[in-house]
Amino acid sequence: MDDRVRQAAVLFERAIFGGDADPLDASARELDAAEAELAVARGKLMHARFLLLRDQAPDELGRFEHAARLYQALGDVRGEAEALFWVGCCHQVVRGDNAAAEPVLERSLELARQAGDKGTAAEALRHLGIAAHRAGHLDVARQRLAESTQLRRESGHLPGVASNLIGLAYIAGAQGRPEDARAHLAEATAIAQDHGAQRLLHTITEARAELSNMPGQSLPWHHEAMPSQRFGAHIAAGPRDHGIIAVPFDPDESWGAKAFHPVGGTVNGRLVRGTITPGNGGWTFQLTPMWMRDTGVAVGDDVVVELAPEGPQRGDLAEDIAAALEANPAAAAFWDTLAQFYRKAYLRWIDGTTRRPGLRPQRIAEVVELLAAGIKQRPRP
C-alpha cells in the first residue's frame, strides 16, 4: 500500500476518535498526488496497449486530463507538464488530431522547461516535431526533433535518441539530404542493436526501404570509402545457439589490419550489425539467437551476405585527432575495434569545443587516454 494511503487511514482514525481535524487537508493533498500518479500510470498502460495491440481504451484521455487537473490544483508544475504531454500524445497518436494536440504539447513544453524536466521537454519537442512534419513544416520539424534528441542524449535515453534519429532521417530524405538520412539511420541502428530494441530495428528497416525508394535518393548503409563485400554463405551452428558464417575473404587485406572488424550490412536483406573475428579456421561472423528468431533466418540456411566496415574510419578524422591516435598505437588499435556509435560519441564530445577552441587539445588528449585504457565510452562527470 502507498504510504500516503496508509497515512490517510491513520489520520482518519485520529480525526474520528481524537477530534483532531487539522491534518486532514494535508492528507487530502497527498491523496490527490497519489491519485494523479496512479491516473498517469494507468493511462500509460492503456497507451502501450494501443501502440502494441491497437486496443483503444475509451477512458485513456480522461485519465490523463484528470491527472493534469489534480497536479494543477496541487501546484505541481512537473507533474502537470507530464500529464499534459500525455494528453497531447493521446490526441495526436490515438485520435490523429494534431490541431488538438499542439497547444497542449506547447503548454507541456513550457511547464517542463519551467520545472527543469528534460525528459518531458524532450517528449513534448518530439511530438511537436511530428506535428510540424505532418504539416509539411520541415525546418521546424527538424529543429524540434534535433532539440529533443540533444535532451535525450544529455539524459542518457539512448533508445529515445534512436527513435528521434529515424524521424530526422525521414526529414532529411524529404529535404534532399540523403547523406544525413544515411548517417541518422546508421546511428539509430547501432543504438537499437546495442540495446536490443527489436521494435526500433523493424522501424529502421522500414525507413530504409521507404527512403531508398524516393526519387533520386540513395541511402547506402556502409562507409562509402570502404567497399562492401557480398558473398553467399551457409549458416553453421555455433556455441550458445548462435549462427556462424564463415567469411570467405580477409578483411585485413580489404579494409586494413585490425584485431577484429565492426561491420554492418545485411543477411538475406535483413539488417545486421556485429563483428568479424579471427579464429583457427579463418574469419567468422556471428548471428545472435535473438536476431535469427526475429528475422526468421536459421542455422542450416544458405544466405546472401553483404558487409562493410562501420565508419568513421581513421582516414576520415580531423588531422589533430588522427595525429593523436597515430602517436598512441594502443589508443588507435582500440579505436579501430569500437562500434561506430562509440566512435561518434567521442567525436561529438571533441567537436563540442567549437566556441572554446582552447579546450579541443585537452579533450583529444583525454579521449586518447581513455582509448589507450580500453574504455569505449567516456564516463559521465
Q: Which pLDDT belongs to residue 146?
A: 95
Same domain, 271 and 342: no
**Eight-state DSSP code of residue 378:** P
Spatial separation of the C-alpha atoms in residues 83 and 174, rounded to whole Å: 33
Spatial separation of the C-alpha atoms in residues 39 and 68, rounded to whole Å: 9
Q: Is residue 206 part of a domain?
A: no
Q: Give yes or no for residue 223 having a pLDDT over 70.
A: no
- Look up the CATH number of the domain holding residue 236: 2.40.30.100
Residue-range definition of the domain harbouring residue 298: 229-309
Q: Is residue 180 part of a domain?
A: no
Q: How confident is the model at residue 381 (pLDDT cuts 50, 70, 90)?
A: low
Task: Write down the mean pLDDT value for the chain.
Answer: 86
Same domain, 237 and 322: no
Q: Is residue 220 part of a domain?
A: no
Same domain, 146 and 31: yes
Q: Give yes or no for residue 167 having a pLDDT over 50.
A: yes
Spatial separation of the C-alpha atoms in residues 195 and 167, rounded to whole Å: 19
Q: Which of 287, 309, 331 represents a domain boundary (last residue)?
A: 309
Q: How many CB atoms lie within 10 A of CB 333?
A: 16
Q: Which pLDDT belongs to residue 1?
A: 54
Q: Is residue 41 part of a domain?
A: yes
Q: Which pLDDT belongs to residue 337?
A: 78
Q: Is residue 36 part of a domain?
A: yes
Mean pLDDT to the nearest integer, 356-379: 89
Q: Is residue 196 part of a domain?
A: no
Least confident of 61-65, 234-238, 309-313, 373-377: 309-313
Q: Which helix (H) or strand (E) holds 26?
A: helix 24-53
Question: Each residue of 196-215: pLDDT tens digit?
Answer: 888 888 888 878 877 765 54
Q: Is residue 198 part of a domain?
A: no
Same domain, 292 and 326: no
Q: In the chain, how many domains are there? A: 3
Same domain, 323 and 357: yes
Least confident of 162-176, 190-204, 208-222: 208-222
The pTM is what? 0.57
Q: Is residue 52 part of a domain?
A: yes
Mean pLDDT to the nearest integer, 96-110: 93
Q: How confident is the model at residue 311 (pLDDT cuts 50, 70, 90)?
A: low
Q: Which of 134, 155, 176 represents a domain boundary (last residue)?
A: 155
Same domain, 237 and 149: no
- Look up the CATH number of the domain holding residue 126: 1.25.40.10
Same domain, 342 and 302: no
Mean pLDDT to the nearest integer, 283-309: 88
Q: Which pLDDT belongs to residue 225?
A: 47
**Eight-state DSSP code of residue 226:** S
Same domain, 56 and 19: yes
What 3 state SS string does the chain have?
CCHHHHHHHHHHHHHHHHCCCCCHHHHHHHHHHHHHHHHHHHHHHHHHHHHHHCCCCCCHHHHHHHHHHHHHHHCCHHHHHHHHHHHHHHHHHHCCCHHHHHHHHHHHHHHHHHHCCHHHHHHHHHHHHHHHHHCCCHHHHHHHHHHHHHHHHHHCCHHHHHHHHHHHHHHHHHCCCHHHHHHHHHHHHHHHHHCCCHHHHHHHHHHHHHHHCCCCCCCCCCCCCCCCEEEEEEEEECHHHCEEEECCCCHHHHHCCCCCEEEEEEECCEEEEEEEEEECCEEEEEECHHHHHHHCCCCCCEEEEEEEECCCCHHHCCHHHHHHHHCCHHHHHHHHHCCHHHHHHHHHHHHCCCCCHHHHHHHHHHHHHHHHCCCCCCCCC
Same domain, 8 and 148: yes
Same domain, 10 and 135: yes
Q: Which of 276, 309, 342 represents a domain boundary (last residue)?
A: 309
Same domain, 7 and 102: yes
Same domain, 46 and 137: yes
